Structure 1
Amino acid sequence: MFSIQNYTVESLASQFGTPLYVYDGNKIEEQIGKMRTAFAGTNLKLKYACKALTNINIMKLMRKNGVDIDVVSTQEAHLAILAGYQPHQIQYTPSGVAFAEIQEAVALGLRMNLDSLPLLEKVGQTYGNSLPVCLRINPHIMEGGTLKISTGHKDSKFGISIEQAPEIYEIVQKYDLKVVGLHQHTGSDFKNANVIISAAEKLFDLAFKYFPNLEFIDLGSGFKVAYHEDDHITDMDKLGKGVVKVFNEFCAQYGKEVELWFEPGKFLVSECGYLLTSANVVKHNPGRNFVGVDSGLNHLIRPMMYDSYHEIINGSNPDGEEKEKYDIVGYICETDTLGKDRTIPTVKEGDIIVIKNAGAYGFSMASNYNSRFRPAEVLIYNGAAQVIRKRETMEDILKNQIVLDI
């Protein structure tokens, strides 16, 4: 029977019910350690991109391990503060938000990462040089899987085009802006370690030409994790050696040591997460078998939204010799395929079907579509399993609705 740490999935399902998100906290710590090892020899700072998984307890675990935080909304910032972070530990990287949210972020004392010329201009007009700011640069690099998850290519909405460097500098000079950091993010799932080195070198060129007083260079993240046994992943050792070499050479030429920042999200939490579901029905149609589970795109939208692959196993019978090919489908009234043409040990009604790599962008993108409840979340850390979010009830569905006398 499949286990997470010392808990079988059937015991977890029995105790906490399904569908259920389960996170292995020690796996998160293992991933943090891998990053620190890969980039040893630099003044490294990790910022957890918390949009991947925003449960306060996951944030607290990151803070316990000395990982700061990157947020994309002031709501995430408030969660981070509740988790114990100080405002100066929070990097705020908005995209196309109203200026009122920028003002809220400034009032909170967050570190600002600005991603457009109009926003840079408005911050200069409003705050002058009173704020330290970081600039998000679009390096015009196409990496990170499909267009849906690539953010550093020329046609992406994210960042200020590297071709607009003179215009950036003009605004910086106009308002005497205090630029302390340069940032880029190519997107998730890049496989070629050289791509982040190429992006870094573009930021180095900007630093030499325009920005003599930087405190850090932020290379984002996007490291590819394994979604199945033979999957290609980012070679962290190769990446680390290459980045450390060019970064230290940059610091020597720049004349000062600056911090090297990364913003891992998926890399830290993807492999820690499992979505446990129950097989509601096993349906044998002519030419195709279906396993219908008690979850769906409302709880894990990535397969339908990104065509992403998640390994799926029969947690109740992981080593069964008799196998069949199934489509694993959800209970939502849409085409709702979690996994297609999966050959796994024979499934019977009531078996626990486990979807792996569900820690990143699983619960954080979940919804109440079809008025379904969102699942409970459980953290297993140092051998203890604890609920970190209750399963929703009908009260949660109704609590913000106003019933009129119609």
Structure 2
Amino acid sequence: MNNEQLLQLTEKYGSPLYVYDTDKIISQYHRMANAFSSVNKLKINYAVKANSNINILKVLNQLKSGVDCVSIQEVKLAIEAGFNVKDIFFTPSGISFEEMEEATKLGVQITLDSLSVLEKFGDKYSNIPVCLRINPHVMAGGNHKISVGHIDSKFGISIHQIDGIKSIIEKSGLVINGIHMHTGSDIYNIEAFLTATEILLNTVKEFDTIEFVDFGSGFKVPYKDGDIETNIEEMGITLSNRFNEFCKEYGRELTMIFEPGKFLVSSAGSLLVKVNVVKPTPNIVFIGVDSGLNHLLRPMMYDSYHHITNISNANDVEKIYDVVGYICENDTFGSNRSISKIRENDILCIHNAGAYSFSMASNYNSRYRPAEVMIYNGEDYLIRKRENFEDLLRNQVIIDL
């Protein structure tokens, strides 16, 4: 979308405002499908945690995507969006067994990531095939907070516990129909990912009932001009060839699964914010906007870079600014940024805000969460109302003191 269109949306819906361009989601989905098109059985499961708005889910459902869910609530959202339960994969970590049972009764594909849960599940549901999440002990990903395949990660069953797995399934009769890994997010080192892949495929060989192999995702997208990203096309060629070769070794045509979140929706999203104040200090010119870490936490939590442009005054001389939020914390969206001259009431666009942005939003400082708009077939649709004061009080129980 161009700047004029984005400005019109803020005039229509106000700010701050999340805007999602579904054309970009669709093109990213097809890009991934094409990259692995030489695999006979390919399944792309969208990671719901990236952006769980039900309308985004409906778009993915139209594309014949499956979904990867990490909570029973995400499972129910996917069902509400129209997904068949057979296309819903449940891959939680550290949840209660009661939540696992609720998902099981809905008929979704279950993934287990601890020996204790595997044993409990086998005792009660030995007739239901399950997938195992394996920790390959490979460090891959960007920020350490989103690298989840290393030896000290809470996720997955260690590759050194295979004998324990076999002991449990021998006792219970449980069938293992899939092997899963997820090494982390923002992966750009293809070699590290391929190393983990070999560990995963070697794990598959330990079982003779495998139907699918889930490689997770975490592929890096660019956040600015010249930024590094996962070369999905190169990875597609290399990994597809290895997977097809492995299927012949294994003696069965397996399904290759990925569970992209950020890759599909990140670049489709923009957060539009209004400039409240231009505040020069001896060393820095601060730009205070009508948003903060309550709406976009990634820069503060992961040190993530989000490109920022002034769409109200795009062609003026560029100056150096720190763009900050209105929360009573150091909620900085960007430091030392070269941006076209900013004036009060200008609208800034924070790019690549489609993933892990609204889904991590909160009411911190008792601020309202913003509205969301989706562009679909050239038309704009309000897909989440802006919160108001009544929303802050909803579910609070006011007692008479």
- Paired residues of 2:138 and 2:150 also in contact (CA < 8 A): yes
Q: Secondary structure at the match of 1:404?
A: coil
After TM superposition, list the pairs within 5 Å mapping 1:63-78 onto structure 2.
Answer: 63-78=61-76
Q: Which residue of 2 aligns with 1:329?
A: 324
Q: Which residue of 2 aligns with 1:389?
A: 384
After TM superposition, list the pairs within 5 Å mapping 1:3-42 onto structure 2.
Answer: 3=2, 8-42=5-39
Cα distance in 1 for residues equivalent to 2:29 and 2:125: 36
After superposition, give the CA deviation of every residue in 1:343-395 in whole Å (9 maximum; x if it has no partner). Answer: 11100001101100100000000000011110000001121111000001111
Q: CA deviation at 1:215?
A: 0.8
Q: Which amino acid aligns with 2:45?
A: K
Q: Secondary structure at the match of 1:380?
A: strand
Q: Secondary structure at the match of 2:390?
A: helix
Q: Which amino acid aligns with 1:300?
A: L
After TM superposition, list the pairs within 5 Å mapping 1:277-316 onto structure 2.
Answer: 277-316=273-312
Q: Which amino acid aligns with 2:220?
A: K
Cα distance in 2 for residues equivalent to 1:58 and 1:348: 34
Q: Which residue of 1 aligns with 2:118?
A: 120
Q: Which residue of 2 aligns with 1:353?
A: 348
Structure 1 residues not aligned, in runs of 5+: none
Q: Which amino acid aligns with 1:16?
A: Y
Q: Which residue of 2 aligns with 1:55?
A: 53
Q: Which residue of 2 aligns with 1:225?
A: 221
Q: CA deviation at 1:41?
A: 1.0
1:158 corresponds to 2:136: no
Q: Which residue of 1 aligns with 2:98?
A: 100
Shifted more, 99-108 versus 48-57: the winner is 99-108
- Paired residues of 1:9 and 1:352 also in contact (CA < 8 A): no
Q: CA deviation at 1:142?
A: 0.4
After superposition, give the CA deviation of every residue in 1:226-249 in whole Å (9 maximum; x if it has no partner). Answer: 011010000111100110110000
Flag as ranges the 4+ runs of structure 1 deviating above 6 A: none
Q: Secondary structure at the match of 2:296?
A: coil
Q: Secondary structure at the match of 1:277?
A: strand
- Paired residues of 1:194 and 1:239 also in contact (CA < 8 A): no
1:271 corresponds to 2:271: no
Q: Which amino acid aligns with 1:290?
A: F
Q: Secondary structure at the match of 2:328?
A: coil
Structure 2 residues not aligned, in runs of 5+: none
Cα distance in 2 for residues equivalent to 1:296 and 1:82: 31
- Paired residues of 1:297 and 1:304 also in contact (CA < 8 A): yes
1:199 corresponds to 2:196: yes
Q: Which amino acid aligns with 1:257?
A: E
Cα distance in 1 for residues equivalent to 2:63 and 2:87: 13
Q: CA deviation at 1:33?
A: 0.8
Shifted more, 289-298 versus 199-208: the winner is 199-208
1:45 corresponds to 2:34: no
- Paired residues of 2:139 and 2:192 also in contact (CA < 8 A): no
Cα distance in 1 for residues equivalent to 2:359 and 2:143: 21
Q: Which residue of 2 aligns with 1:371?
A: 366
1:341 corresponds to 2:340: no
Q: CA deviation at 1:8?
A: 2.1
- Paired residues of 1:52 and 1:361 also in contact (CA < 8 A): yes
Cα distance in 2 for residues equivalent to 1:212 and 1:10: 57
How many correspondences in the alignment?
400
Q: Which amino acid aligns with 1:351?
A: D
Q: CA deviation at 1:214?
A: 0.9
After superposition, give the CA deviation of every residue in 1:296-347 in whole Å (9 maximum; x if it has no partner). Answer: 0000000111111100111112222x11111000000111101111011100
Say what the alpha-carbon RMSD is for the aligned residues. 1.0
TM-score between both structures, scaled by the size of structure 1: 0.97
Cα distance in 2 for residues equivalent to 1:194 and 1:379: 37
Q: Which amino acid aligns with 1:95?
A: S
Q: Which amino acid aligns with 2:243?
A: F
- Paired residues of 1:52 and 1:266 also in contact (CA < 8 A): yes
Q: CA deviation at 1:287?
A: 1.1
Q: Secondary structure at the match of 2:104?
A: helix
Q: Secondary structure at the match of 2:179?
A: strand
- Paired residues of 1:9 and 1:316 also in contact (CA < 8 A): no
Q: Secondary structure at the match of 2:349?
A: strand
Cα distance in 1 for residues equivalent to 2:193 and 2:349: 33
- Paired residues of 2:323 and 2:333 also in contact (CA < 8 A): yes
Q: Which residue of 2 aligns with 1:111?
A: 109
Q: Secondary structure at the match of 2:24?
A: helix
Cα distance in 2 for residues equivalent to 1:155 and 1:370: 34
Cα distance in 2 for residues equivalent to 1:59 and 1:9: 23
Cα distance in 2 for residues equivalent to 1:194 and 1:319: 41
Q: Which residue of 2 aligns with 1:185?
A: 182
TM-score between both structures, scaled by the size of structure 2: 0.98
